Amino acid sequence: MGNQQVIESVNVNFSRTDVPRMDVGDTVSVHCRIIEGQKERIQVFQGVLIGRAGRGVSEMITVRRVVEDHGVERIFPLLSPKVAQIDVVRRGDARRAKLYYLRDRAGKSRRLRDRRRGMKHVAGLPIGEMPSPVPASSGESKGDAKKK
């Protein structure tokens, strides 16, 4: 067994199972444990996931949010005990691996499209099927109904 396989087998033991599937562009809320003296509290940092780096034990995520027209970015190690929980609030549509261009944006251009855009679905039907048009009842056409 090579060195890389030994490292990977050790990393599997420390991996976390409660991390949800999240991609770059998603809006996430990261619940951080903050210890002040003897007290411990949880603070939520919600923003857009603009980058992921590393893998396994050393995986990091970069989350950006805007507070009073100032951008704030925090880098969180995914497997840190300081990270209590991660929730995906909204799925964003991104075509890049890193969204660093959002740093230069302001106003509405800072927003990302929702991943669900363009989905034409009707309740009760599988996505992709459109209902067929309903035939006119009792054999009357639209023109006949107007004459009466």
Q: Is residue 148 part of a domain?
A: no
Q: Which pLDDT band, with edges at 50, 70 and 90, does 125 fall under?
A: very low
- The domain total for the chain is 1
Question: Domain range holding 56?
Answer: 3-132
Q: Evaluate whether residue 84 is within a structural domain.
A: yes
Q: Stretch 24-40: mean pLDDT, rounded? A: 94
Does a structural domain hold residue 82? yes
Asked if the structure places residue 143 within a domain, the reply is no
Query: pLDDT-based confidence at 144, cuts 50/70/90?
Result: low
Q: Is the pLDDT of residue 120 over 70?
A: no
In a domain, 145, yes or no: no
Is-contact 78 63, C-beta < 8 A? no
Q: Which residue has the tokens 């669900």?
A: 116
| Residues in the chain, overall count | 148
pLDDT of residue 124: 47
Contact 49, 76 (CB under 8 A): no
Residues 47-62: pLDDT tens digits?
A: 999 999 998 888 999 9
Share of the chain above pLDDT 90, in %: 42
Whichever domain contains 42, its CATH number is: 2.30.30.790
Query: What span, in angstroms and rounded, lies between the C-alpha atoms of 111 and 106?
Result: 9
- In sequence order, which residues have a C-beta less than 8 Å from that of residue 22 and are 6 or more positions away? 28, 49, 61, 86, 88
Residues 50, 63 contacting (CB under 8 angstroms): yes
pTM equals 0.70
Distance CA 104, CA 57 (A): 31
61 located within any domain: yes
